Amino acid sequence: MLASIRSLRSLVPLVAVVGSALPVAAQKLHLVDDVESKPTGLLMHEHLVVTHNGWSYFAREGAGVGAELHRVNVATGSLELVRDVHSGPDGSRPDLLTVLNGVLYFTADDGVHGVELWRSDGTAAGTQMVADIRAGSGGSIVVMPWVREPLAIAAGELFFAADSGGGATLWHSDGTTAGTQPVANGGPNPAQIASDGTAVYYRAQSELRRATAAGATALKSFYGGPNQPTVFNGAVYFHAALNGNDSYELWKSDGTAAGTVLVKDIHAGAGLGLSSYASLFTVAGNQLFFTANDGVHGRELWSTDGTSAGTALVADIGPGIASGLGDSIYWRMKIGRA
């Protein structure tokens, strides 16, 4: 059975050390507290654990309550239920935990309004819904189980996708009801939101868009849309194809239409079958690391400094066309309990 973890031990980040290309320091794992001694109930994902002001916040199922917001004191190990937002076995299922300006924000369903944006100062009285964006029990925020991304923060505001009834579009919030509003030209169906601190970049169906609270601008349209936007060194990187006769390659944008350009055609040639599918972007130092298939070495570890000349294979881990890497460089696992 899977352990239900005391301190976040169901989430153990591991690093695959690829030869000597990416040296990493070993990290000692430490049990803080057994938040649930039975093999039932700790609801955890990497986006569901936030440490703030000496407390780690997460969603946990406990005796008599469904999945609700709890916190554990990092120093003492004491566990507290913050608030039973949705009484009963279902719970409010807090998700997308994000700290902004000393306040914890998350999505939750109180059983009346559906999934909406909430905030908490760590007390029951201070845990309240920010805004009922979509009236009724349907909720406005859809949390995709296969896309685990926290709420984006830019220029001191939260950015997220929500549907008030006319289709999903981009919203922003300063943490107040009045300050929670749709972003002009924010839709349709925003996803994969990345922030450079002053603005957010995201996929709006086929388009790459840049947005602030003042509004959004479409930068470029792609076949199937831009994928996995990741901010690095003042630009956003992603893989995309211009059309069905093009290939999915590494692109970047400086936030302007003219500055949205191909970085490198890693898998030379046109056609979707000749795509490198640059993916799993990870910033380390002054390099952006990712996996790609150049058609010669299989899927291997690559890096870029943002230039075509500076985009290169790090190591041919598995010589030949067979990939040296699987689908991930970093992964997480749960520790089993007999």
Residue 169, domain extent: 151-220
Same domain, yes or no: 204 and 247: no
Same domain, yes or no: 189 and 237: no
pLDDT category of residue 142 using cuts at 50, 70 and 90 = confident
Give the chain's domain count: 3
Residue tagged 């230039």 (tokens): 307
DSSP string, 72-125: EETTT--EEEEE-SSTTTTB---EEEEEETTEEEEEEE-SSS-EEEEEESSSST
* pLDDT, tens digit (0-9, with 9 covering 90-100), for 231-274: 999 999 999 999 988 999 999 999 999 999 999 999 988 888 88
Q: Are 126 and 83 in contact (CB under 8 A)?
A: no
* pLDDT, tens digit (0-9, with 9 covering 90-100), for 160-194: 999 999 999 999 999 999 999 999 999 899 999 99
Residue in 258, 254, 252, 291 with CA at minimum distance from that of residue 275 = 291
Residue 192 lies in a domain: yes
Q: What is the pLDDT of residue 146?
A: 57
The average pLDDT across 264-288 equals 92
Residue 302 lies in a domain: yes
Same domain, yes or no: 4 and 91: yes
CA 186 to chain centre: 19
Residue in 321, 322, 282, 323 with CA at minimum distance from that of residue 303 = 282
Query: Does the pLDDT value for residue 99 go beyond 70?
Result: yes
Query: Does the pLDDT value for residue 129 go beyond 80?
Result: yes
Same domain, yes or no: 200 and 289: no
pLDDT category of residue 139 using cuts at 50, 70 and 90 = very high
Same domain, yes or no: 10 and 31: yes
Same domain, yes or no: 124 and 178: no
Same domain, yes or no: 288 and 275: yes
Residue 233 lies in a domain: yes
Residue 139 lies in a domain: no
Look at residues 167, 186, 220 and tell me which one is the last residue of a structural domain: 220
- Token code pair at residue 204: 């709006």
Look at residues 177, 197, 220 and tell me which one is the last residue of a structural domain: 220
Determine if the peptide bond prior to 182 is cis (ω within 30°). no
Q: What is the pLDDT of residue 38?
A: 44
Q: What is the pLDDT of residue 306?
A: 96
Query: Does the pLDDT value for residue 203 go beyond 70?
Result: yes
Same domain, yes or no: 205 and 238: no
Q: What is the mean pLDDT of the chain?
A: 83
Same domain, yes or no: 123 and 180: no
Q: What is the pLDDT of residue 290?
A: 95
- Partner residues linked to 282 by β-bridges: 289
Same domain, yes or no: 5 and 83: yes
Same domain, yes or no: 161 and 52: no
